[in-house]
Amino acid sequence: MENILEKESVQRVRKVLNEYDQNLNVEVLDSSARTAEDAAISLNCEVGAIVKSLLLRTDKDFILCLVSGDKRCSLNKVKKIIKNKDVSMAKAEQVKEQTGFSIGGVSPIGHIKKINILVDVSLSRFENIYAAAGHPHSIFKITYKKLLNLTNGKEEDIV
C-alpha cells in the first residue's frame, strides 16, 4: 500500500493541523473511513462522533457543511441560514475542484479554495470527534471547540 501520509492531499491537512496545534495528528487507518459508518467501525466509536464534510453548491458559491455522522444535513435549514433558495449537493468533480479532495476523504481543512463552513451544533455532544484527513484511510481526532476555531466555521443547527 502506498504511503498515505505522503499524499499531497494529506500533506495539506497535516500542514494546517501542525500550524494550529502540534498535538493534532493525522492517523492512517487499516480499513476505510470512506463513510461515517466505516470510520466508526475502524475507530470503534459512535457514528455520531464522525464528522461528515458535505459540499453544497449555491447559484454563486459553495459552502461546506460539517455534520455528525448519525445525522442528515437539512438543505432547508441551510437555505434559510444563507438566505438562498438555490442549494444542492455538489457533484464529485466540483468537490475535487473546490476542496482538492475526492469524496470519501474530504477534510474540513486544507482546501485549495476558500470555502465558507457551517458546523452543526450536534457534533458538540462528543468529547472528541473524527474528521477525514484528505484520504479515505486517514483521519484526525479533534475537539468540537478546536474544530470550530480551526475551520473558522459558523456554529448552526443544520440537521
Grid cell for residue 40: 466508526
CA distance 79 to 135: 29
Per residue in 8-45, pLDDT (tens digit) is 999 999 999 999 999 999 999 988 888 899 999 999 99
Q: Can you tell me the mean pLDDT for 85-112?
A: 97
Q: Which residues pair with 156 in a beta bridge?
A: 120
CA distance 53 to 107: 7
Percent of the chain surpassing pLDDT 70: 99
Domain range spanning residue 38? 4-156
Q: What is the CATH number of the domain that holds 145?
A: 3.90.960.10
**Residue 104 and residue 34 in contact, taking contact as beta carbons nearer than 8 Å:** yes
Q: Can you tell me the mean pLDDT for 70-96?
A: 97
- Return the beta strands (E) in 50-126 as ranges: 50-58, 62-68, 87-89, 116-120
Domain count, the chain: 1
